[in-house]
Structure formats: structure tokens, C-alpha cells
Amino acid sequence: MHLKTNLLVLAAVAVASMTASAVQASSPGAWAEFNQRVTRSCLAAAGYRNARPSPVIGFDDRVGKVAMLVSDRSRGSNNAKLCLYDKASRKAYIDNADGWVAPPAPR
């Protein structure tokens, strides 16, 4: 009987430690750092001097990518670029999205 109890306690401790590390990886600070990395990469890839990024748009983890719309804030410009950021390679991929408008990213 004691062996069974000890195994249950050991299993509970193992699950708790795995959960704690998963929670730590998703801390608000880690998300903020990730969002900053995505924003910097997308702004650099878009190449606008006066860019306005949208908030990061997340997808299911199975997709492995997030998106962002980067608008050109230059006077009279209606240009925008859609940025797909690959989480594995940490690279930003850009395509034209002229006519789309990105709302300002929250600060």
C-alpha cells in the first residue's frame, strides 16, 4: 500500500514540475519578448521608414507562424505589407497588402 502511495506522490510531483516549467515558458515577460522580436523582424523586413505595426496575430501552435500587418504611415501612403513570422527559423516573410490598414499596436 505504501508503494502505491509513494508512486502516486512521485507522479504528482513530476506532473507539477512539468506544469511549472510550461507556465514559466509562457510568462508575460516571455510573451512580451517574443512580440518585440516579431515586431522588430517584421518592421525590418517591411522596410518602411515610417511604419506602423499591428498587434501580433497568433495562430495555433501547429501552424508555427504568427502574422502582423505593417502599414506605411508616410503622408498620402496607403501601402501595407503582410508579415508572416516563422517561429522555428525566426525569420519574417513579407508580401504586399496594399489597401489594408493596421491599427496602432497597443503600448
Quote the pTM value.
0.69
- For the chain, 107 residues long, the average pLDDT of each consecutive 10-residue run is 42 44 68 95 95 93 94 88 96 91 66
Domain ranges (residues) in the chain: 2-96
Work out the end-to-end distance of the chain between its first and last CA atoms, rounded to an integer number of angstroms. 57
Bridge partner residues of 58 (DSSP): 66
**The pLDDT value given to residue 20:** 42
**The pLDDT value given to residue 103:** 66
Separation between Cα atoms, residue 48 and residue 71, nearest integer Å? 8
